[in-house]
Amino acid sequence: MFDFHTHKVKPDAIVAISPCDDVSSRVLYSVGVHPWMVADAGCDAWSRLDAVAREKNVVAIGETGLDKLRGPAISLQAEAFERHVSVSESVGKPLIIHCVRAYNELMSMRRRLSPSQAWVIHGFRGKPELARQLVDAGFLLSLGAKFNAATAMAIPSDKLLIESDDSDVDVASIYRSVAAARNQSVSELERSVDGTLQSLGISVD
């Protein structure tokens, strides 16, 4: 059961790290400067981001994003977000997005920037109507330990991913919960997630 977004180093997962972190472990990574940290990223993070993003075991960029409840000014977060978009496009890898109360701004940026790479909102907890709007706008959604059951049903199979994030809940338990909410078997959910990952160019073998 592949874990699309976690902060714990483990196999069968994409481990979210900072550009300052080491990528030598034999696991898959996403690399980015979290929106809470963009004012004080440290370690010459922005130049390192460009370099680390090209490593073979780095399969996604982020997490990056917009958070109106925490972090520096939203204008600074937006500037950092666009830098991540540029890296995502240049290396041809999907973008993992943290978004809190800034979905209108996020959809506006997607329309303006017209990315060729997939944008995935991680840890999505919103209602079905917002999920539909985001899917219609071209986003994929990743569900974690806390999610809206009606939303799980509303997300098309090819737009859905599963993650543990920083939760202590095992990802297998999250798969079971999401599968139950969608009235499907866990194996069916696994297959659809694997197909979505393959569409992103991420091998689960």
DSSP letters, 2-21, are -EEEESS--SSEEEEE-TTS
Of 37, 34, 17, 18, nearest to 97 (Cα)?
34
Has residue 7 been placed in a domain?
yes
User: Mean per-residue pLDDT for 1-8?
Assistant: 97
Query: Measured between alpha carbons, how far is 65 from 68 in angstroms, rounded to an integer?
Result: 10
Task: Identify whether 205 is part of a domain.
Answer: no
DSSP run (H or E) holding 106: helix 103-113
Residue 138 has pLDDT above 90, yes or no: yes
pLDDT at 185: 98
- Which pair of tokens denotes residue 27? 């696991």
44-68: pLDDT as tens digits: 899 999 999 999 999 999 999 999 9
Q: Whole-number mean pLDDT of the chain?
A: 96
Structure token pair of residue 30: 């996403």
Give me the domain span that covers residue 57.
3-199
The H or E element containing residue 136 is: helix 128-136
Instruction: Provide the CATH number for the domain around residue 155.
Output: 3.20.20.140
- Residue 36 in any domain: the answer is yes
Confidence grade of residue 40 (pLDDT, cut at 50, 70, 90): confident
With respect to residue 16, please indicate whether it lies within any of the assigned structural domains: yes
Nearest Cα residue to 138 out of 163, 112, 100, 102? 112
Mean pLDDT of the region 76-103: 98
- pTM (predicted TM-score): 0.96
Which three-class secondary structure state does DSSP give residue 151?
A: helix
Identify each DSSP E strand in the chain by its residue range. Answer: 3-6, 13-17, 28-31, 58-67, 95-100, 119-121, 140-143, 160-162
The answer to the question of residue 158 being in a domain is yes
Is residue 204 a part of any domain in this protein?
A: no
148-177 pLDDT tens trace: 999 999 999 999 999 999 999 999 999 999
- Give yes or no for a contact between 13 and 6, defined as CB atoms under 8 angstroms apart: yes
The bridge status of strand 28-31 relative to strand 119-121 is unpaired
How many structural domains are present in the chain? Answer: 1
